[in-house]
Amino acid sequence: MARQLILNELEMDMLREVGSIGASHATNSLAEMTGTKVSIEVPALEIRPVEQLISREGGEELVAGVYVELEGDVNGVIVLMLDIASALQLVEQITGMPPAGEELTEMEVSVLQEVGNIMASHFSNALADFLGMKIMPMPPALAVDMAAALLDFIMLEQACKTGDAILFKTRFIFQPRQISGNIFLMPDPESLDRIVTMLREKVGLGA
């Protein structure tokens, strides 16, 4: 199944649009949850050797990552990633309670998992509706560790077959405290093929 993923400009544009629809639904759900404003940057879509993405996106800094696997017509993962300070601020914004310390408490962990769960569900529902596909998010898992270590796990699990990772990355900024984070969508290569085929049918280009 190992083959090069080569997409043309139109396909890349359509995919970016899909990523953008998913990311805006995800961040809107965060805005509703917190009763404030969340803005997103233009999503980036990259398909490149997995080692290049890992070494560029991750360092030794401590981050919180919420990992949600996708099953159904799209296999892959949605990950919410925040540096640890932003993660604590976000929890405080939602619960109204200041952080207990530098380590996450059980309550803070479950709040973050729920945030990741809600964002991933909105993201995947928006994709599923738009594409007419069935996508089911699995229960969320949270880890707090070095960014590079989390990303190497996440990306290698998705890209181990072809060596190429497919990354939709959207940075969001959460008002009023300017808390920023990233939401990643990483479909596996076969799923990306299915998405592209659906998109081509949608715009009347056939399979």
Partner 1 sequence: MPPVIVVDIADVKAATEPARLVSIGLGSCVGVALFDSKKKVGSLAHIMLPFSRGSEPVDNRAKYADTAIPLAIEKMEKLGANRSRLIAKIAGGAKMFSFIPKDDYIGRKNVHAVREVLRREDIRIVAEDTGGSVGRTVEFDTSSGTMLVKTARLGVRKL
Residues in the site for partner 1, rule: CB under 8 A? Answer: 2, 49-51, 54-55, 58-60, 62, 65, 67, 69, 103, 141-154, 156-157, 160, 163
Pair type for strands 38-40 and 76-83: unpaired
The DSSP-derived string for 132-174 is: T--EEEPPPEEEEEEHHHHHHHHHHHHHTTTSEEEEEEEEEEE
Which residue, 59 or 132, is less far from partner 1 as judged by CB? 59
Which residue, 19 or 58, is less far from partner 1 as judged by CB? 58
From the CB of 21, what's the least distance to partner 1, in Å? Answer: 27
From the CB of 86, what's the least distance to partner 1, in Å? Answer: 16
From the CB of 156, what's the least distance to partner 1, in Å? Answer: 5
Amino acid making up residue 34: T
From the CB of 153, what's the least distance to partner 1, in Å? Answer: 4
31 near 175, Cβ under 8 Å? no
Amino acid making up residue 150: L
181 near 79, Cβ under 8 Å? no
164 near 47, Cβ under 8 Å? yes
Which residue, 142 or 179, is less far from partner 1 as judged by CB? 142
From the CB of 12, what's the least distance to partner 1, in Å? Answer: 23
Amino acid making up residue 54: I
